[in-house]
Amino acid sequence: MSYKNYITEIQDFPIEGVSFKDISSLLANTEIFDKCVDEMGWLVKVPDYWIGVDARGFIFASALSMMFGGGFVMCRKKGKLPKPTINHAYKTEYSSDELSIHPEYTLKGNTIGGGTAVIVDDVLATGGTLQATNSLVNKAGYKVIDNLVLIDLLYLPRVKDFNLEVKSLIQYE
């Protein structure tokens, strides 16, 4: 299955020199999206929590949670989650940003968080967001067992000190 047939490359978006990978057609096709999520899930061990990175990582992490089991946790931009949160500031290829996540907590007698986690995002570009998410998730008390993305842009240089193993379904060289 060539998922690239369902991805449109948009040149010079969001800034000049960037080739944006638009996954809208892949998401809109029920059969293709289902196969895509299924294949992604088989690349990793099922965790206690699938942690989706804001915003398109939410799509895949929540679908993986429903298909394979395990909870879904959102790693959001700062200010988008109610307190308490743990935050982490970092630089992206375009700007600076800050992510937030809920630490392990107990709600109505149920412990949420603190187990094993797979961090999920749509695209691995330079790795800054994924590296920051790993740092944040570890600080919040989760044990990261894997990193999973739909698309890995292998042709881009990674941020300094990037040493994560990342599994991907689609690669662009």
Considering the domain 44-172, what is its CATH architecture? 3-Layer(aba) Sandwich (3.40)
Which active-site residues does the annotation give? 56, 93
Instruction: List the end-to-end C-alpha distance of the chain, in Å, as a whole number.
Output: 18
pTM for this predicted structure: 0.93
- Residue length of the chain: 173
Q: What is the spatial distance between Cα 38 and Cα 64, in angstroms, rounded to a whole number?
A: 8
The first and second tokens of residue 113, run together, are 């968080």
Q: What's residue 45's pLDDT?
A: 98
| pLDDT, tens only, 130-156 | 999 999 999 999 999 999 999 999 999
Cis peptide before 14 (omega within 30 of 0): yes
| pLDDT, tens only, 159-172 | 988 999 999 999 99
CB 108, CB 84: distance < 8 Å: no
Q: What's residue 107's pLDDT?
A: 72
Is the pLDDT confidence value at 104 over 80? no
Q: Please give the biggest Cα pair distance in the chain.
A: 51
Is the pLDDT confidence value at 83 over 90? no
Domain ranges of the chain: 44-172
